Amino acid sequence: MNLKRIFGALLTALGIGGLIYTAVIFAGTSGETTEIKSLIIYGILGIIFFVSGISLVRTTKDES
């Protein structure tokens, strides 16, 4: 059981969740400043988690 792959999958899942939450906020936004700030913050964090998780899974070699 490779701990790096599990952590990468967890980061990927968190990134997907953040991006979905960003889409939900975007769909229900009315243009207020606080909504736009949270939209940007959750979107950037979702992208960072997603990309780092995918790269961690891809670069980790199977050693079984």
What does the pLDDT read at residue 54? 95
- CA-only gyration radius of the chain, Å: 15
The reported pTM is: 0.84
What does the pLDDT read at residue 22? 93
Confidence class for position 62, pLDDT limits 50, 70, 90: confident
Q: Which residue did the predictor score with more confidence, 4 or 44?
A: 44
Q: Is the pLDDT of residue 64 over 80?
A: no
16-52: pLDDT as tens digits: 999 999 999 888 888 778 888 889 999 999 999 999 9
Q: In whole angstroms, what is the distance from residue 13 CA to residue 58 CA?
A: 15
